[in-house]
Amino acid sequence: MKTITLYNGVQVPQLGLGVFKAAQGEETEDAVKWALEAGYRHIDTAAVYGNERSVGKAVRESGIPREDVFITAKVWNSDIRAGRAEDAFFRTLDNLQTDYVDLYLLHWPVEGKEYAWSQLEDLYVQKRIRAIGVSNFHPQHLEELMEQARIKPMVDQLESHPLMNNQELIDYLQANEIAVGAWSPLGGPQLPLLQHPVLLELAEKYHRTPAQIVLRWDIQRNIFVIPKSTHRERIISNSEIFDFELAEEDMERIRSLDRNFRVGPDPDNFNF
Ligand SMILES: NC(=O)c1ccc[n+]([C@@H]2O[C@H](COP(=O)([O-])OP(=O)(O)OC[C@H]3O[C@@H](n4cnc5c(N)ncnc54)[C@H](OP(=O)(O)O)[C@@H]3O)[C@@H](O)[C@H]2O)c1
């Protein structure tokens, strides 16, 4: 598994399994189990997904040593606003039944983010978290955070797929040594992105699925990517992206599909 090295030296497996909207219980447990069997070593969950217990259970039952699986978790907005990031973190540890998290993120840039960040910094210094970061932060949110921060975020996780590649923001973050994770890389559950004629054409050219083409594009943009599926065949095929390479002209063709078309909320204008 290829990795992205964060500025503090921690390595993030470039492919992870997302579990947003996977139900607590069998659905999440099976998805994580199949992913680990297929070679994934990175699981992306969050308190608000309501399935941390199942993620922890599946990781434990896999028999794979805890230190070989990279777990990302996120503190939800209500806990950030209420100044309860530390309590939320220990709840997450309890749900996961583990004593540390690999990457812990502020889920959205809501009011109270500066204080929440100081709590994450303390937990990081205490080695309860291997890397700390943010999600859905634009440059101005990072600047606000950095006015009081002691530690620069190591990661920003954001929406990125061919119809909304967010490349300008990604370039900004990478220039500032902040690693990038792409959410909804396949366009999320609603968008018929994988039927796009250009992706179908490239799929035929490389003898791959459209999903594999998109995920490979992400790997070559040096970001990490966390596609979600609860279907075994898709989980397996989404991982088969490390044995081929897209030509630069095809990278560019996918890049040119950008329409600034969001499938998720705009970090500058959301109400939850
Ligand atoms: N930080 C944030 O604010 C944030 C926001 C959104 C998401 N995320 C994270 O990012 C992860 C991924 O984003 P996402 O779940 O929104 O969307 P996504 O991974 O882009 O797409 C998931 C959808 O694509 C389907 N799918 C997966 N593989 C496929 C394939 N090979 N062929 C056809 N369809 C396929 C899945 O269906 P099936 O499950 O039925 O296979 C599901 O409906 C989330 O699970 C979550 O961990 C983070």
Average pLDDT per block of 10 residues along the chain, 272 residues long: 96 98 98 98 98 98 98 98 98 98 98 98 98 98 98 98 98 98 96 96 98 98 98 98 98 98 96 94
What's the token pair of residue 119? 């709590």
Catalytic residues: 49
Question: Which ligand 1 atom is the nearest neighbour of the CA of 231?
Answer: 41
Confidence at residue 238, expressed as pLDDT on a 0 to 100 scale: 98
Q: Is residue 271 part of a domain?
A: no
Confidence at residue 100, expressed as pLDDT on a 0 to 100 scale: 98
Residue 101 sits at φ, ψ, to 5 deg, of -120, 145
Q: Is residue 74 part of a domain?
A: yes
Confidence at residue 1, expressed as pLDDT on a 0 to 100 scale: 83
Candidate from 12, 15, 19, 20 with most ligand 1 atoms within 8 A of CB, to mutate: 20
CATH number, domain containing residue 150:
3.20.20.100
Q: Is residue 28 part of a domain?
A: yes
Q: Whose CA is nearest to atom 27 of ligand 1?
A: 229
Q: Is residue 262 part of a domain?
A: no
For ligand 1, the distance from its centroid to the CA atom of residue 190, given in whole angstroms, is 10
Q: Is residue 51 part of a domain?
A: yes
Q: Whose CA is nearest to atom 48 of ligand 1?
A: 183
Residue 104 sits at φ, ψ, to 5 deg, of -125, 130
What's the token pair of residue 43? 């699981």
Q: Is the CB of 160 under 6 A from ligand 1?
A: no
Ramachandran class of 166: left when φ > 0, alpha when ψ lies in -120 to 50, beta otherwise: left
Question: Which ligand 1 atom is the nearest neighbour of the CA of 182?
Answer: 10
Structural domain containing residue 119: 3-255
Q: Is residue 226 part of a domain?
A: yes
Q: Is residue 170 part of a domain?
A: yes
Residue 181's nearest CA partner among 170, 192, 168, 195 is 170
Please give the tally of structural domains in the chain. Answer: 1
CB–CB of 40/15 below 8 Å? yes
Q: Is residue 22 part of a domain?
A: yes
Q: Is the CB of 162 under 6 A from ligand 1?
A: no
